[in-house]
Structure 1
Amino acid sequence: MIGITILFLLCIVAGGYFLTFQTLYVQTSSVHLTVPRMPPLTLIHITDLHGRTRYLNGSLHHLLNRWKPDIVCVTGDLVQNSGQLARLMEEIAKIEARHGIYFVPGNYEREEIRGWQKRLYTTGEIAACKKQWESQMTVLENEDSLIKIGEALIRVYGFDNSTYGNEQYDTHREVEHADWTVFLAHSPNIISLIHEKGIHANLLLTGHTHGGQVRLFGRTFGAYKDFHIGQKKDKLVGLFSISRGLGTAKIPLRLNCFPEITVFLINH
């Protein structure tokens, strides 16, 4: 009887370690790209932190800074609630990106969860949060930013689909002479708008799905089962990338779906 009890406890400990490791050990996905007329460039994409800044293999800024990034793109859901934002922004401030950090809001920039209760932020609360975002990042809400690196001009356009229906794109503002265009959006559903309007980019970065967060038999279940994980070629945006993100939502664990940062190595 004692032997069975010990075995049972060992199974619980092993299972707990297994889930903790898969939830808190960050994997790095490296993507090599060749882009004409561009200097060597390192772009890092992170998303869906949900308030988490420390992992088994290091803090967020440590995981990013070791790559010496030129540009960091953050596609929403920084925190679960506004009480976590100040601490998270302290961590963002430690990220060393030569040409800036670019941010688009996600649904958790418009709402929060405290306990099991979800509520929408007021207009005043969103404005207060935005001040904190802008202290460390360039916030893009249906607007673009131009980055000049050497002789190359990079355009970063951020769609605000933190609430579906907010997304806007003015084709008259397209920069014809940009050497490389990156689209940012929180939800991969933005691809429908892109195809509907026939707009072009070289890279689309999104999150929101958490890669399913809990995956069984190599499959995603639920609302996002039809979306891919990682990178997929697309005729309009070149490369359509959906990150597994870094945090968790609803349940505080991951299974067969490690948290992820994506490093794009251009002309390395």
Structure 2
Amino acid sequence: MMTTIILCILMGIIFLAYHTTYVKTTTVKLTLPGVSPLTLIHLTDLHGRARFWNGELYKLVNAHDPDIVMVTGDLTQRSGQLTRVLNELAKIKSEDGIFFVPGNYEREAGRFRKKVYSTAVYRSQKEAIQQVMTVLENESTVIEKDTSLIWIYGFDNSIYGNERPPEQEIRHANLTIFLAHSPNIISMIHSERLKADLLLTGHTHGGQIRLLNRTVGAYKHFHIGQKEDQSVSVFGISRGLGTSRLPIRLNCFPEITVYAINQS
């Protein structure tokens, strides 16, 4: 009897570990006139996790030979994890760069009782991140790719109220991408009547626990994955890679999202 109980407990632990640490790749195929073939990869909410059941993060990303990688915040759960996570991201081979917007865990740390970072600590960590990725805090960047002009704007909604709309749009961009940590940014996009081809966000973790294909707990009002929107052609909310508060996932696997644009 005791052996059976122990075996069941072990099987349960393995089951949860698999759901929590096995990364699944979601491939989204898009056809956009006037845009050169591109592979975009979206990562978010690592929360200190860089190694997974099925491999190291950089290897999982590099397998797709990305043109652009976009990371939408929450690299760590606590500041001591930052060096390890950045060392992993530095191994990613992205032809046209890696772009980052901060999440709330760039401003604070902790699983249940959160500690807000001082301005000095935040700036120090930002400087470290900038050694590996281009940080966009209410800023834009333009990439020329073959015959395409790609405009990326990153909203800083790591603190609600911190986000600012673009001061000016690139009118002739072939591809416009908005990045933000929280999907709540859609409210500003609507109110400011902004337009983009892609909006990529995270923050919700897909709820982390799902039963009967429904989110249990927070963020039930947000979709998971991609949907059309009146302001952005594709509004993506990734399940992310790590965990917060509860250190487990159930029926909500970690996710790498690959946007394959104009590829057969």
What TM-score range do you get, normalising by the shorter chain?
Answer: over 0.9
Matches within 5 A, 1:230-245: 230-245=225-240
Query: Which one of the candidate residues 184, 207, 222 is aligned to 1:189?
Result: 184
Query: Which one of the candidate residues 253, 259, 264 is aligned to 1:258?
Result: 253
Partner-residue secondary structure (3-state), 2:200: strand
Residues in 2 aligned to 1:237 and 1:260: alpha-carbon distance in whole angstroms: 22
Residue 61 in structure 1 maps to residue 58 in structure 2 = yes
Partner amino acid, structure 1, of 2:66 = P
Residues in 2 aligned to 1:194 and 1:221: alpha-carbon distance in whole angstroms: 27
Partner-residue secondary structure (3-state), 1:76: coil
Partner of residue 193, structure 2 = 198
Partner of residue 205, structure 2 = 210
Q: Which runs of 5+ in 2 are unaligned?
A: none
Matches within 5 A, 1:1-268: 4-113=1-110, 116-170=112-166, 172-268=167-263
Partner-residue secondary structure (3-state), 2:35: coil
Shift of 1:251: 1.2
Partner-residue secondary structure (3-state), 1:254: coil
Residues in 2 aligned to 1:260 and 1:116: alpha-carbon distance in whole angstroms: 24
Residues in 2 aligned to 1:102 and 1:161: alpha-carbon distance in whole angstroms: 15
Residues in 1 aligned to 2:85 and 2:15: alpha-carbon distance in whole angstroms: 26
Residues in 2 aligned to 1:44 and 1:116: alpha-carbon distance in whole angstroms: 30
Residues 39-70 of structure 1 deviation map (CA, whole Å, 9 limit, x = unaligned): 11100000000000000100010000000000
Q: Which runs of 5+ in 1 are unaligned?
A: none
Q: Mean Cα displacement is larger for which, 20-29 or 216-225?
A: 216-225
Q: TM-score, normalised by structure 2?
A: 0.98
Shift of 1:222: 2.8
Residues in 1 aligned to 2:26 and 2:149: alpha-carbon distance in whole angstroms: 25
Partner-residue secondary structure (3-state), 1:182: strand
Partner-residue secondary structure (3-state), 1:183: strand
Residues in 1 aligned to 2:52 and 2:171: alpha-carbon distance in whole angstroms: 41
Residues in 2 aligned to 1:109 and 1:265: alpha-carbon distance in whole angstroms: 29
Residues in 2 aligned to 1:200 and 1:37: alpha-carbon distance in whole angstroms: 17
Q: TM-score, normalised by structure 1?
A: 0.96
Shift of 1:116: 4.8
CA RMSD across the alignment: 1.0
Residues in 2 aligned to 1:166 and 1:224: alpha-carbon distance in whole angstroms: 21
Shift of 1:127: 0.6
Shift of 1:14: 1.1
Shift of 1:223: 3.0
Residues 211-234 of structure 1 deviation map (CA, whole Å, 9 limit, x = unaligned): 000112211133310100000011
Shift of 1:117: 3.5
Residues in 1 aligned to 2:112 and 2:236: alpha-carbon distance in whole angstroms: 31
Residues 77-118 of structure 1 deviation map (CA, whole Å, 9 limit, x = unaligned): 0001111101111111100000000000000000011x7532
Residues in 1 aligned to 2:7 and 2:191: alpha-carbon distance in whole angstroms: 54
Partner-residue secondary structure (3-state), 2:150: strand
Partner-residue secondary structure (3-state), 2:214: coil
Residues in 2 aligned to 1:197 and 1:28: alpha-carbon distance in whole angstroms: 33
Residues in 2 aligned to 1:103 and 1:8: alpha-carbon distance in whole angstroms: 46
Residues in 2 aligned to 1:17 and 1:111: alpha-carbon distance in whole angstroms: 31
Shift of 1:5: 1.7
